[in-house]
Chain A
Amino acid sequence: MVIDKIKKVTVIDTKANTKASDMMVGKWIKCDNCKEILYKEDVRNNYSVCPNCGKHFRLSSRRRIAQIIDDGTFEETDSNLHTTDPIKFEGYTQKIKLLEEKTKIKEAVKTGFGKINGINVAIAVMDANFLMGSMGEVVGEKITRLIERAIEKHLPLIIFCASGGARMQEGMVSLMQMAKTSAALSKLNKAGLLYISVLTDPTTGGVTASFASLGDIILAEPKALIGFAGPRVIEQTINQKLPEGFQRAEFLLEHGFVDRIVERKDMKEELYRILKLHNY
């Protein structure tokens, strides 16, 4: 298997890049599930899903939008919002700056408008690469503004969730974003607009306990970790190991908290079908 991959690499690489050193550096990843060595380009061409075992790797918000939204139709909103460091937590603003440089994104969510096979939607995509996708004031504010604009424009709302929960570095201001976003969704409900929540790996804590769980329709990616309390906290509380598959998307489906599990390659089409059935 590994040898096959190396052969494949050589072919692709001679076309794209003639430098021999590039072939060896940073082009390989190991699947943390099946341990297979994979050529990055293959994974990328496969929606960032392991071609061997089907593991859905975490996606950046940028690449998620590229997979879901029609080319050239995404208009980002509020990309210029930054945190006011509400509790003046030592080292926090420096940490944000470093992350901005490292990840080339400004916050843990991208919001905006775009089309899915021609249908206009309001969309938010969280990014676990940025402080574990944690929700602070900027995440809460961007999502709330998006919901309010969706109401103004009568657009359906889609949120791709990926978050470790509330952003501790912002203290109680982060907790209150749960109330703020949920209140905005209550208005969206009253306006009769569709909200599809898509749970991706990981969706936990304060995000699970707010907008992630409030979709009219809740979809999840295969094997995504979804829960309120983190697995380690639960293990410490009950003093035993958690059963295999606990808090995975399939577990939530079985317990009635998710409507459907959708593979990444089918996600756009699935969203489109649902939107169409709601007359958008």
Chain B
Amino acid sequence: MILDFRAAATPAEFHADLCVIGAGAAGITIAHTLAGTGLSVYVVESGGLEPDGEIQALYEGQSVGQPPIMDLAASRLRYFGGTTGHWGGGCIPLDASDMAVRPWVPHSGWPITRATLEPYYDRARPILDLPDHRFGDPGLLSRMPHRPIGFDPALFTSLYSMSSRQPRLGEVFRAQLERAANVTVLLNANLVEFDTNEAATSVRQASLRGLDGRKGSVRARYFVLACGGIENARLLLLSNSVCKPGLGNDCGNVGRFFMDHPSGQLGGVVSEHPDRLTEAYDRHLSDRTLPIYPEIVLSETLQRQQQTLNGRVRPDDYEENVADGITALRTLRHDLSAGAPSHLPSQILRIAADLGDVAPSLFRLMRGRPAVVGHRIELLGFFEQAPNPDSRVTLGDRIDALGQREVRLDWRLTELDRHTYEVAAMRFAAELARLGLGRVQLDPWLRPGGNPYEGMGGAAHHMGTTRMSDDPAAGVVDADCRVHGINNLYVAGSSVFPTGGWAFPTFTIVALALRLADRLQQRLT
């Protein structure tokens, strides 16, 4: 069932076995898993079924870090389906080494292993509609339209990421949750605080408020906070009526260790074989029926020997001045594959008027080459971030439309991050030269004496602010994702990641949510 909290006919008080705050990838996965069980599940979602500017503005905040992060309101989506509404769909599991203690990476190590997650990764595949191939399957190589470059495996490993064929989880699971007799999705209802007992060891209810001022609550046996890597921390900090530092924040860890996947341009590449260098890694050239993409990843050997974080690099064929006819052709192709062609006559006219550019492009595509000859090749990097207690989410001074303090984000990279970028760029440049595939010129920021993080931006993969740890002094949630010291409050999502590898986080978010759903079902039945 789906209810709108703004509707007069909708009750204001609810009772449930389980209350999930947030209907993004994690919250929807939990609701989907528990649909059809005998448990009463309420999913509280701030937004509606479509994005809304006024609700989206509740995500605004202040970013003061180095480097500046992208717009806090634009990098997250606050409606049913959450940020999967603009997710690219990339999936790959974390490496076992990503989750292990690495002596050269301070604060590294999960309290669970990759083996623990393995069965949940398997169960996450159909939820995200991934191709029926195992990650790392060597047989995939023969299916690739272009064979990846054979780098020295001691330096760079070839891995494969996959793309969800249906990444908009709100659209995928709306009908199921609407039909489920035991699941109620409550739209346009904002959590303003978890109310606890006097000792702050148990949550009694989730206090709700609508933008129209309407108040309500959900009482439940268990609660799951699933609002994303920034908002999870904010909502715990805002739940401070009893526990002044905020819920789960006795040791001051809520909001700390904020991480993203720093990414940016490391340099330019000059090559006499630009197609050979880029074609295997060009998303546009992949088989659309088999969305599997080769990735060039820093090997575990290189990470250990050079004491770096994990990361990947990609030579990217940068297109400048793409002809109008080619742009129209791409739009038409995209619209047709989506089954919704728009402005068809004008697009055909644009293509026809630019046949001089379109024809050679089609010829190149037929030969398996990029449609547009790149004017230059950029070397891009996508990296793990070092866990850093000074990189943190706190409450700012500005107040939102609900009367709640907005978030203040201070994103901070470290010398280990900078060292990783340098090693990745230098070793990849040396490999390209050794193989005779090109030469690299580092961007000025990455040269000796350059501004250490000037070239890096975020990927809107917000992680780490309620990190998982066995030791309550070192984190916020335990290995089951239960908030330390609170017997019925759990956290779902990437905020529990102690480290984030370079892997796109949604696949792991869904796997962890499946594991949490199993745990909660066991406790509730």
Q: Determine if chain A interacts with chain B.
A: no
- The chain A residues found within 8 Å of chain B, CB to CB, are none
- The chain B residues found within 8 Å of chain A, CB to CB, are none
